[in-house]
């Protein structure tokens, strides 16, 4: 989240992708640094997935990733 904040302060919009378990930590960290980066949460777990499963996760997440960096209400 620090990285997205840093890039934001340099005028570069962005967001981060994390697994579901990160949701609470992300909110807490956002409160602590005074900046809530746009975020996308994908299904947990990640570490033990096969390549095929990871690619499927990416396929599912694509539109949300585009929305993350374009703006939530964008096409």
Partner 1 sequence: MQLPNGLIAVVKRDCPTCLLVDPVLQEIERHGVPLTVYIQDDPSFSRASRIIDDRNLEHSFRFGIETVPTLIHIADGRETQRAVGWQREEWETVSGLKSLGAGLPDYRPGCGSKSVEPGTAERLAVRYGESKMHARRLTVPPLEDDLELCFARGWSDGLPVVPPTEARVYRMLQGTTRAADEILGLMPPNLSPCNVEKVAINAVLAGCKPEYLPVVIAAVEAALDPAFCLHGLLATTWFSGPMVIVNGPIREAIGMNWQGNVLGQGNRANATIGRALQLVVRNVGGGKPQEADQSTFGAPGKYGFCFAEDERTPWTTLSEDRGFRRDQSSVTLFSADGPVGCIDQKSRDPASLIYSLAGSLRIVNHIDLANAADAVVVIGPEHGRVFDQAGWSKARVVAALHERLQISGQDLGMGTAPGASKDATGSAKHAVSKFRPEGLTLARAGGPAGLFSAIIPGWLMKGSLGTDPVSKEIRL
Partner 2 sequence: MTSVLLDPTGELDPVQRLPCKKPGSLTGLTVGLLDISKARGNVFLDRIDELLAARGVKILRFKKPTFTRPAPVALLQEMARQCDVVVEGLAD
Question: Of the candidates 26, 46, 24, which has an alpha carbon nearest to the alpha carbon of residue 38?
Answer: 26
Shortest reach from residue 28's CB to partner 2, in Å: 14
- Give the C-alpha distances (Å, rounded to integers) separating 30 from 25, 40, 46, 50, 55: 8, 14, 23, 31, 29
| Site membership for partner 1, residue 75 (CB under 8 A) | no
Determine the Cα–Cα distance for residues 26 and 2; give it in Å rounded to an integer: 11
Residue 54 makes contact with partner 1 by CB under 8 A:
no
The site for partner 2, by CB under 8 A, has a size of 45
- The binding track of 13-52 with respect to partner 2, each residue x by CB under 8 A or -, is xxxxxxx-xx-----------xxxxx---x-xxxx-x-x-
Determine, following the binding rule CB under 8 A, whether residue 9 of this chain makes contact with partner 1: yes
60's contact among partner 2, partner 1, none, with CB below 5 to 8 A by partner kind, is: none
């Amino acid at each position: 989240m620090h990285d997205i904040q840093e890039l934001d302060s340099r005028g570069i919009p962005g967001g981060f992708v994390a697994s579901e378990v990160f949701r609470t930590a992300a909110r807490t960290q956002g409160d602590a640094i005074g900046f809530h980066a746009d975020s996308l949460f994908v299904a947990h777990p990640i570490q033990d997935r096969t390549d095929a499963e990871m690619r499927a996760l990416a396929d599912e997440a694509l539109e949300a990733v585009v929305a993350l960096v374009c703006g939530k209400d964008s096409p």
